[in-house]
Amino acid sequence: MKKRRMLFVALLLIGCLPYFTNAAVSTPNTPPTQPQPSATTPTDSSVIAASTDKSGFEKFRDWFHNPTDWFSQGADFRWRYVYAPNIDSLNNEAINRDYHFTRNRVRYWNKTKITDDVDFNIRWTWEFRTWDEPVRKDRNFDADEVVWDHFNLTVRNLFDLPLTMVAGKQDIILGKGWLVAEGTPLDGSRTNTFDALRFTYDVPNRDTKLDLIYVFNRADEDAWLRPFNDHDRHFSEEDQQGAIVYLTDKSNPNLQKEAYFIYKNSNPIDTVPKDVPDPFPPYWPRKSEIFTFGGALSGPIASSEHWKYRTEGAFQWGKKESKVSSSSELLSGNQETFQAFGTVNRLEYHFNDKKKNILHGTFEYLSGDNPDNDKITAFDPLWGRWPQWSELYIYTYILETRIAETTNLYRFNIGHEMMLTDKVSMSTDYHALFADENTEKDRPHPTIPLAFSSSGKFRGHLATWWLKYQLTKNLKGHFVVEYFSPGNYYASENRDPALWTRVNLEYTF
């Protein structure tokens, strides 16, 4: 019955598409401004005609976006339906093996213009869920809470220089988001905000910018701003401080250069949150101090119109608390020397045809932790804990690290993407996944005693398929299916296939 209701809602939304066909686009961070005057001054009759052509809904929309010349606002709604069995257990006999729910996210944002160069930005986010899993959840509807997603002051041309400052809650994505994109990993894609102070300097007469960022994330959601209907949830597993220096040079159209230094200090919270099982899951909070130095190169190969590449690598060093086998040892504070390396490399061939066909291949290596070594050598993704190449596989890391804490990996990928129509795109990928080290072979797991094999290193085969569609200017969506067949890295009891399916619709007002 509930599946039929979900299908009815999806069909109802699609049936309403004609009413939204002429809606204009607005984005969360930059609400649309009033149309700019054309080079030719319009006549009074043309102005009257243009105004007459607008429907009542369009006139209301324009007023809503810009009710005054110093205030702008916007909103969006995202509906997701997810069905995903075995993604965090890889075992058909496991309790709570199925995920079956909807995510319903509503966001409202506004910008108050203080001067031409100064504005104040706020965004609220509310995501409520419905569950079809009476074993996993004790209720079918979770109203959840409303959180402050953005709360920042933006100042441009600071000190009469090409310098921009953003202070407060904000989204930050550097490069392709490999190491810096997600400041709130425990709430999925509800938010990805950072509590940060960011300075961006645009070098004059050169397409180059320098970002200087100080991060001061807190684990508890109400550390800075209390949510409405607070549920005592947490954005992350620990309090974090960090500093980032990131240089991006695009002055050469055939070679984009990036270089960065990242410092991250993590300190576990010392009380069990209400949204986390008591006691803490083993391996969860780990004290660490990590220094990362890296860079990336990207562009066409030999000025080719068809071949493009991107290569990125990073070295890490510092100290990190070793893993533990029971929650009583979590706050021991014992730290070991930490050294790690990671790289991700992508090659693309663009056919430059009407369908925009692209073939691509990827090789990614993230060093693993050798249990016989006196150092910790597993690569740390820092603030890169989000589904960069798989919605499904991030959940399998719950067995060995934390959700989306991808490490100890060899990934070989080949894929294809194309435009089926002007508004519909499709992408298909295959990933062969291996572990660098068999780190977990002798380590007990709190709920799955035999989660990993004693010697295997083949993680398994992963296939992903995406269909993305731009239904109207305001309404877009996607459908994604992922299938994972585990290999001998996992114990024989934990080699059952996992599946991830999702339907997504997003409307921006």
Contacts of 149 (CB under 8 A, 6+ apart): 107, 109, 123, 124, 125, 169, 191, 193
pLDDT in tens, 446-483: 566 678 998 899 999 999 999 999 999 999 999 999 99
Percent of the chain exceeding pLDDT 90 equals 64
Rounded mean pLDDT, 147-165: 97
- The pLDDT of residue 29: 39
pLDDT in tens, 159-204: 999 999 999 999 999 999 999 999 999 898 999 999 999 999 999 9
Is residue 13's pLDDT more than 80? no
Q: In terms of pLDDT, which residue wins out, 450 or 154?
A: 154
Is residue 382's pLDDT more than 70? yes
Q: Mean pLDDT of all residues in the chain?
A: 85
For 175, 355, 414, the CA distances from 359, given in Å and listed in that order, are 21, 12, 8
Percent of the chain exceeding pLDDT 70 equals 82
From the list 493, 321, 347, the residue with the least C-alpha distance to 415 is 347
Residue 332's CB: how many other CB atoms inside 10 A? 11
- Sorting pLDDT into bands at 50, 70 and 90, what band is 66? very high
pLDDT in tens, 400-413: 888 999 999 999 99
Is residue 438's pLDDT more than 50? yes
- The pLDDT of residue 245: 98
pLDDT in tens, 200-243: 999 999 999 999 999 999 988 888 889 998 888 888 888 999 99
Compute the distance between CA of residue 2 and CA of residue 382 in angstroms, rounded to an integer: 39
Contacts of 172 (CB under 8 A, 6+ apart): 180, 181, 183, 194, 196, 198, 213
| Contacts made by residues 203-210, CB under 8 angstroms, sequence distance 24+ | 203/162, 204/162, 206/249, 206/251, 207/249, 207/250, 207/251, 208/247, 208/248, 208/249, 208/250, 208/251, 209/247, 209/248, 210/245, 210/246, 210/247, 210/248
pLDDT in tens, 263-272: 999 998 876 6
Across 320-329, 347-356, 398-407, least confident range:
320-329
DSSP code of 186? G
pLDDT in tens, 122-147: 999 999 999 886 555 556 888 889 99
- The pLDDT of residue 323: 62
Rounded mean pLDDT, 95-102: 84
Is residue 50's pLDDT more than 60? no
Rounded mean pLDDT, 343-369: 97
Across 148-162, 328-342, 368-382, least confident range:
328-342
pTM of the predicted structure, to 2 decimals: 0.86
- The pLDDT of residue 94: 79
Is residue 256's pLDDT more than 50? yes
- The pLDDT of residue 138: 59
Is residue 244's pLDDT more than 70? yes
Is residue 251's pLDDT more than 70? yes
- The pLDDT of residue 281: 60
Is residue 43's pLDDT more than 60? no
Rounded mean pLDDT, 500-509: 96
Compute the distance between CA of residue 241 and CA of residue 197 in angstroms, rounded to an integer: 11
Q: In terms of pLDDT, which residue wins out, 61 or 49?
A: 61
- The pLDDT of residue 391: 97
Is residue 108's pLDDT more than 60? yes
Rounded mean pLDDT, 327-350: 81
- Sorting pLDDT into bands at 50, 70 and 90, what band is 325? very low
- The pLDDT of residue 275: 59
- The pLDDT of residue 25: 32
